[in-house]
Amino acid sequence: MGRDEESWIAERKRKRSIGDDAAAEAGGVLAMREMDMEKLRSVVRDCLGKHLYSSAIFFADKLATMAGNTPQDLYMQAQALYLGKEFRRALHLLRRFHLVSADLRFRYLAAKCLAEVKDWEECLVMLGEGDVDEDGNVEMAEEQGVDLSESKDVEEREIHISSAMCLLRGRAFEALENRARALCWYKAALKADPFCYEAFEHLVDNHMLTNEQESKLLTSLKFDPEDRWLSLLYSCRANKYGQGAKIDMKIAELEQELEEPQSDDESRAICSLKDNTDVMACRADLEYHRGDFQRCYESTKALLEKDPYHLRCMPLHLGAALELGRKNELFLRAHSLVQEYPTKAIAWFAVGCYYYCIRQYDHARRYFCKATAMEYSFAPAWLGFGNAYAAQDESDQAMAAYRTAARLFAGCHLPNLCIGMEYLRTNNLNLAEQFLLQAKSICPDDPLVFNELGVMAYRNKEFKIAADWFDKALNLAPKPLTDSWEPTVVNFAHTLRKLKMYAKAISEYEKALALYPRGASTYAALGFTHHLQGNSSVAIDFYHKALGLKPDDSFTAEMLSLALADECHLQNSSGSSQLF
């Protein structure tokens, strides 16, 4: 605001010196008036600063009239009206004095007003024609070069006005559900000024970009060397799969303390963002994606103790709590969120999570649905909605929810993955493959995708391919493996067994048991593998163990009978001499 005022004052002074020579003798009076005006302006500014919008509007109106409707004062009045939520009045004011075409700032403010009253078409018209290509390179019809050069001389860093306009265009297109165009404009906004965080937030939080696109965009951004921290933070937030070590390094750099001695050129890059909530959230996000839910839960809990309203990390916290089955925590959190943010999707999402956790999927569904109704572009709720249907074997509805999610969040591979999983479940292998491959192309580093691909190949009886997929999945999975990867290990072992690589299969089964020692089916499979090797006495032991954990498993019971008969005849024919 400060710079605006000054430049306007300068302009006004210039105008006056040209047109006002007749009133030279009245100069003293004018000066007096000017001082009064100045006083009034400061009152308006102060009112705005103290959020006394009605007063601000009142005084700004008087000021504008007294000072003869100068653009500067009109701008101030419009600003006050905007802040006082009188958008149409502000718009009317700007239009009445034909200020809209005068300057980008006026036009932006007008567009902003139009956006607030949700007249998106008008808003776009107001912002003017502009073209943007896929990568967000703008070809504007307007003369923007002037403004660009102007802002360069100024000491203080500001968000570029053209960037703000691009952002607004993006929002308008998003509201008009033209997500492709919105995406381009967001990119343009970020390119015009990397400090335009809002654009980044839109892009990332709404999962608009695939991994590849994200990294391409981030490398194309021009950061000043002293803004390295921002670039680091952006890249940490962007994508979580496949580059764990790199992100770790980046987070470590962000958390570096100032005291540490550094060489000259690096000293500028020190960020000392240790304990900043956003960095903590980044770390928690990483832990979540690694499947380290315990640690993620702990970090998000610590974070929420510092900042209980850090809503961006809330889905993570809820997700981790859900994975860990902390229903008590979910209950309390959902209650307080509903009380504090009854209009936010996250609050109802939390309620849905709670019901999902206690396996009341009907209720869960209802609240996830409510969350999506509140905020259409809230990705976790859509996935939760689908999962709640899937948990009740209602494939069609689940698929519908996932499909919506896939449409809304083109950069998120999870909906595609879920669709693929649903198709796998309903034994529709061709379609499953299509969606899984699509998920893979969006995010080539998520081990879960490879696990599902492996399962599909296994179902198709292409065991060699399946083994490759599982191997890849296990390579990508964060080390050391947690028990959430136990199924993948078991799958891999099953595949090896099918390939008759029994020794390796056995070692994989044993690995799986080290991760989760109570898996009845793992014991059964291990026994079966030994049995296939003709090692029936070991097989019997493992079948017993499996039946001990799950007594009603008919396959194991049958195999046990067979193994016992084998063992009996074996002992009798070959081992008898040693036994008797």
Partner 1 sequence: MAAVAHHRVELRRAIRQLRDRGLYSAAKWAAEQLVGLPEETETEKLALKRPFRRKEVAGQSSSGGVISSRDDEEDDDDDILSLAKSFFDVREYRRAAHALRGVAGQKAVFLRCYATYLYGEKRKEEEIVELAGPLGRSDAVNEELVALEHELSALYTKGVLDAFGSYLYGVILHERERKVEARAALCSSVNAYPWNWSAWLELQALCTDPDILPQLNLNDHWMRDFFVASVHLDLHRNSDGLARYRALHVTFPRSDHILAQTATAHYNLREFDEAESLFEELLRTDPFRIEGLDTYSNILYVKECFAALSFLAHKAVLTDKYRPETCCIIGNYYSLKAQHEKAVLYFKRALKLNRKYLSAWTLMGHEYVELKNTPAAIDAYRRAVDINPRDYRAWYGLGQTYELLVMPYYALYYYRRATQLRPHDARMWCAMGQCYENEQLLMHDAAIRCYRRAVTNNDREGIALHKLAKLHHQLGQADQAAFYYQKNLERMEADQNEGQDIVEALLFLATHFKNQNRLEEAEHYCTRLLDYGGPAKEDAKALLREIRSVQQHAATLPSMDLEQFTPE
111 binds partner 1 (CB under 8 A): no
262 binds partner 1 (CB under 8 A): no
Q: Which is nearer to partner 1, 164 or 515 (CB)?
A: 515
Whole-number minimum distance, CB 567 to partner 1, in Å? 6
Minimal distance, residue 506 CB to partner 1, in Å: 15
Pick one of 192, 513, 525, 559: the residue that binds partner 1 (CB under 8 A).
513
Report which of 538, 543, 569 is spatially closest to residue 556, judged by C-alpha positions: 543
Residue 564 engages partner 1 in binding (rule: CB under 8 A): yes
- Interaction mask 348-377, partner 1, x per CB under 8 A: ------------------------------
Please identify which residue in 222, 518, 554, 578 interacts with partner 1, judged by CB under 8 A: 518
Instruction: Please state the closest distance from residue 477 (CB atom) to partner 1, in A.
Output: 17
Rounded least distance, CB 568 to partner 1, Å: 5
Q: How far is the CB of 209 from partner 1 (least distance, A)?
A: 35
As measured in angstroms, the least distance from the Cβ of 563 to partner 1 is: 9
In this structure, the number of other CB atoms found within 10 A of the CB of residue 475 comes to: 10
User: Which residues in the 273-332 window bind partner 1 by CB under 8 A?
Assistant: 294
Q: Is 548 in the site for partner 1 (CB under 8 A)?
A: yes
Asked if 572 is part of the footprint of partner 1 (rule: CB under 8 A), the reply reads yes
| 561 is a contact residue toward partner 1 (CB under 8 A) | yes
Q: Specify the stretch interacting with partner 1 by CB under 8 A; choose among 118-126, 163-171, 384-392, 565-573.
A: 565-573
Q: Which of 45, 37, 35 is nearest to 2 (CA)?
A: 45
Nearer to partner 1, 98 or 518 (CB): 518
Q: How far is the CB of 354 from partner 1 (least distance, A)?
A: 19
- Judge residue 50's burial from the number of C-beta atoms within 10 Å of its C-beta, 0-12 exposed, 13-18 middle, 19 or more buried: exposed
In Å, what is the CA distance from 554 to each residue of 10, 148, 166, 509, 533? 90, 75, 64, 21, 21
Q: Is 565 in the site for partner 1 (CB under 8 A)?
A: yes
The CA distance from 50 to 270, in Å, is: 35
What three-state secondary structure class fits 133?
coil
- Closer residue to partner 1 (CB): 222 or 518: 518
Beta bridge partners of 138: 132
Please pick, from the candidates 2, 49, 517, 534, the single residue that binds partner 1 as defined by CB under 8 A: 517
Is 340:308 a contact under the CB 8 Å cutoff? Answer: no
Q: Does the protein bind partner 1 through residue 490 (CB under 8 A)?
A: no
Is residue 65 part of the contact set for partner 1 (CB under 8 A)? no
Residue nearer to partner 1 on the CB measure, 249 or 565: 565
- Yes or no: say if 546 and 553 are a contact pair by the CB < 8 Å rule: yes
Q: What is the DSSP string of 265-314?
A: HHHTT----TT-HHHHHHHHHHHHHTT-HHHHHHHHHHHHHH-TT-GGGH
**What is the C-alpha to C-alpha distance for residues 329 and 354, in angstroms, rounded to an integer?**
9
Nearer of residues 101 and 294 to partner 1, judged by Cβ? 294
Q: How far is CA 379 from CA 201, 293, 401, 403, in A?
A: 14, 20, 11, 12
Is residue 483 near partner 1 by the rule CB under 8 A? yes
Would you say 75 or 542 has its CB closer to partner 1? 542
End-to-end CA distance of the chain: 100
20 backbone dihedrals φ, ψ, rounded to 5°: -115, 30
* SS3 state at 131: strand
Q: How many residues sit in the footprint of partner 1 (CB under 8 A)?
A: 20
Query: Interior CA angle at 78 toward 77 and 83, to 5°?
Result: 100
> Which of these segments, 125-133, 396-404, 421-429, 540-548, binds partner 1 (CB under 8 A)?
540-548
Three-state DSSP class for 139? strand
Distance (Å, whole) CA 417 – CA 422: 9
Binding site for partner 1 (CB under 8 A): 294, 483, 513-514, 517-518, 540, 544, 548, 551, 561, 564-565, 567-568, 571-572, 576, 579-580
